[in-house]
Structure 1
């Protein structure tokens, strides 16, 4: 420490997803050098890239890096994230998609009390097959194919649909999409019909879509399959989201290009963590306990090393919680009851090998770490390259419809997220991962607003009297994809991290870009 210079403030950041890494990077690179940052991660590696996998073609030796979950960014909506990537020199390239909408041919699961469904029967394998661009629309059950950003003016015709029927469907979708777009720009979401604005009872997606008279078939067959997979939830869960989430996403991303990071999430993770000197892996935090009289915050964690567990604790000046709300409520006592009202679900994603020419498998395998490919762009000179097919297969049911997403990579490998029926063939499944998804509701939106100090509503209006903990109190801050008023996506990670940087008095080096992005977003939202 330099003579006369105050000691650095010790900050613990718990969680190493994008929010935790961004926050840690901003504090660790503070131009005044005021913070000493420690990262806690319960896994054996940093979390942002932990579910990604390297897949090797056994015959050619080619290795492909796959991000789980997929990290495609819509320009306009991800303005803050893209500004950060530009400053850090993280290369991105545009990508085009063919969105295939299909009806599930699998049998719906039996209802409780009516017998259990077979988990090994033949119907478990009846699903639209993964499709290359030249074969899109050929799978049974396909009813439409949409080209992102209309890069194909005339969409491919599904094999099961006649020419006249296809033309009628296109005209129907043009009218529906035009009206939905106009409505999002001109009709603002409000409070729920017949309810006051008190208690955070904002209008839900279901109520908004009904109010703007959007045709039910367009909603059930197109809008919900697409947006429920963006949010990784069921149709009913999406319909309970605040309408402002859907409207803002549509307005900000309308007509904008999709992008992916060259080399995947690992490139981002590496750039953000390179400046970190104290990363504690295998450290599962058990408790975050503010000390009396603002004497710091104690972190108690369980360290697992070489099969041996040891409970440790240490006191920091400040703590940033970059974990999901259920974990936050479990380890931070002031928020136990509050965050327990925010719903979360577990989402599955599987990497599946395509069948060979003669129906065989075994042409792909998990690659070793030393075989990992160097980061590269699949697009050339700003070109998006061949379109990638994402098939949204929906099981329509009066008891709740759900859609799975099957993303076919250029190599033919598929990534299946939220599969409709299991088990998938274990012989062709190369890798599986689970991750927590935080859901949005009118109630959870009000809770987040209150916790982040963005709402002036009385505490009683969101349940219970007494003191309500607010972000930054007790020298504890929250960050994450759920810590903002928007869909639970990566943009929320960056926005919440910037809020902490402002509270800590840290200059954001890409602030000029953010100002421009903020002005453009505000103009669109207004």
Structure 2
């Protein structure tokens, strides 16, 4: 076996570790190097202490770290070389508290993106698109949120008044109301973890949120109100929900419109409530800076890239990770930071848990073809240009002069064409990436609840953007990673030692 470090005993001592010479070594495999996998590895690696040392190994079949593997470097229209995150890694204040805390603790710099928006709609009959709203975001310029060029002033005035009225109403409802089934299992258990007696809560097992007690999550079987049902109950007009709420969340979650309409209203309302008036941020030095900081505590020999994991084999109390080329032995714990479909391939006992979880594929193009925004007048182009279709939302981000990132490209005028709907020439495509995106449905809500019962069984753990009570976004990666690492530390008898300080 070429990797000497992979043969370390699951629980041993290493006299070369100085202050950690007497620490018990717990070997952990993390399969997947997206943000969930990186955060899990970072939290455990930096949690090593005089009692327990965590020897963490990362595995990924890609030749580069997953969180940054699709990002590209390109030259903009001014001849400046730019590093471009694919997909875009923005995060909003209020909702992304864990990510912001993590990035601050790592010393990473981020800035207010001050996005502006254009909203357009594809007419199914004619195949043409028209712009119906411009939004200045936090840019502070009325001009950037002004009248669309082809809209009459009378029409724009009436539409603007209606949108403002229903936006204020929707914001008040989001702030004051509680969607049915909105009590988060995560919040319930997390709160109980600190308030309830330890013996009653922890028992003999350890779930993601500190419990295997099924009674603690029985409310997950509650009736879950969809966004569509919530809007009807509060008499919010369908045009407002479809044109603004569904369009925005379809772009943000990269899923179809019907999925957003039928998604738990609690997810949408929670996001709206927490992000009201908050800024949207971007890392100042792109995702590479996060990757470098999160992998810094790991030994270089423990990062296994271009290694396709084929199976997990039980060796009594430990696990062997089998790859195409060799086996890696003696892992006490395995963290699966991958898509649900991949989790099921690697650990068959979890197939019944995830059988009703849905996922779709999302295409993201980085390109230099300005035809992609031909449906807009030049004066209507904004930072983020959203095109509402019957299927979902195409989003084109003007990254830098002459460089665009288009997610879920749509066809206009009935032209499917070879060049991405006749609007993006293949010769101008810098990169094309396809992602599997888990869809937040009642099936996923049920799967997350079931997985909480099974977390840590046979020392196998699951984490990811979808493995929490909320929208399938980056915040879920960090939330689930924190919870899994807490569970592993408790199972190792290491829970009395504080986790690395989180900066809020």
Q: TM-score, normalised by structure 2?
A: 0.79
Identify if the C-alpha distance between structure 1 residues 407 and 297 changes in structure 2 by more than 3 Å, giving closer, same or farther. Answer: same
Q: Which residue of 2 aligns with 1:281?
A: 305
Q: Which residue of 1 aligns with 2:396?
A: 406
Residue deviations 1:328-363 (CA, integer Å, cap 9, x gap) = 11111110122121111111000120359xx9xxxx
Paired with 1:170 and 1:158, the residues of 2 have a C-alpha distance of 11
Query: How many angstroms does 1:200 deviate by?
Result: 4.4
Q: Which residue of 2 aligns with 1:331?
A: 346
Query: How many angstroms does 1:473 deviate by?
Result: 1.2
Query: How many angstroms does 1:21 deviate by?
Result: 0.6
2:366 aligned to which of 340, 351, 360: 351
Aligned partner of residue 351 in structure 1, secondary structure: strand
Q: Is the 8 A contact 2:181 2:266 kept in 1?
A: no
Residue deviations 1:93-137 (CA, integer Å, cap 9, x gap) = 1111111111226779xxxxxxxxxxxxxx8xx7xxxxxxxxxxx
Q: Is the 8 A contact 1:301 1:312 kept in 2?
A: yes
Answer yes or no: is 1:393 the counterpart of 2:387.
yes
Q: TM-score, normalised by structure 1?
A: 0.76
Answer yes or no: is 1:23 the counterpart of 2:40.
yes
Q: Is the 8 A contact 1:103 1:141 kept in 2?
A: yes
1:151 aligned to which of 124, 132, 140: 140
Paired with 1:90 and 1:234, the residues of 2 have a C-alpha distance of 33
Identify if the C-alpha distance between structure 1 residues 253 and 60 changes in structure 2 by more than 3 Å, giving closer, same or farther. Answer: closer
Q: Is the 8 A contact 1:67 1:264 kept in 2?
A: yes
Aligned partner of residue 103 in structure 2, secondary structure: helix
Q: Which residue of 2 aligns with 1:316?
A: 331
Q: Which residue of 2 aligns with 1:75?
A: 93
Q: Which residue of 2 aligns with 1:182?
A: 172
2:485 aligned to which of 497, 501, 524: 501
Q: Give the alignment's Cα RMSD to 1 decimal.
A: 2.4
Q: Is the 8 A contact 1:240 1:441 kept in 2?
A: yes
Paired with 2:353 and 2:229, the residues of 1 have a C-alpha distance of 26
Paired with 2:485 and 2:135, the residues of 1 have a C-alpha distance of 41
Aligned partner of residue 15 in structure 2, secondary structure: coil
Residue deviations 1:27-53 (CA, integer Å, cap 9, x gap) = 112240511111001100110001111
Paired with 1:317 and 1:502, the residues of 2 have a C-alpha distance of 15
Paired with 2:139 and 2:241, the residues of 1 have a C-alpha distance of 20
1:435-450 paired onto structure 2 within 5 Å: 435-450=435-450
Unaligned runs of at least 5 residues, structure 2: 1-13, 183-217, 375-380, 490-494
Paired with 2:232 and 2:370, the residues of 1 have a C-alpha distance of 43
Identify if the C-alpha distance between structure 1 residues 22 and 388 changes in structure 2 by more than 3 Å, giving closer, same or farther. Answer: farther
Query: How many angstroms does 1:201 deviate by?
Result: 3.6
Query: How many angstroms does 1:219 deviate by?
Result: 1.2
Answer yes or no: is 1:50 the counterpart of 2:69.
yes
Paired with 1:487 and 1:393, the residues of 2 have a C-alpha distance of 21
Q: Is the 8 A contact 1:104 1:395 kept in 2?
A: yes
Query: How many angstroms does 1:313 deviate by?
Result: 4.8
Residue deviations 1:420-467 (CA, integer Å, cap 9, x gap) = 2354221121111011111111232022022124xxxxxxxxxxxxxx
Paired with 1:37 and 1:388, the residues of 2 have a C-alpha distance of 44
Identify if the C-alpha distance between structure 1 residues 157 and 60 changes in structure 2 by more than 3 Å, giving closer, same or farther. Answer: closer
Aligned partner of residue 12 in structure 1, secondary structure: strand
Q: How many residues align?
A: 422
1:468-507 paired onto structure 2 within 5 Å: 470-503=454-487, 504=489, 505=495, 507=498
Identify if the C-alpha distance between structure 1 residues 5 and 388 changes in structure 2 by more than 3 Å, giving closer, same or farther. Answer: farther
Query: How many angstroms does 1:415 deviate by?
Result: 0.5
Aligned partner of residue 328 in structure 1, secondary structure: helix
Runs of 4+ aligned residues of structure 1 deviating over 6 Å after TM superposition are none
Q: Which residue of 1 aligns with 2:130?
A: 141
Q: Is the 8 A contact 2:47 2:500 kept in 1?
A: no
Q: Is the 8 A contact 1:204 1:442 kept in 2?
A: no
Paired with 2:133 and 2:166, the residues of 1 have a C-alpha distance of 14
Q: Is the 8 A contact 1:143 1:160 kept in 2?
A: no
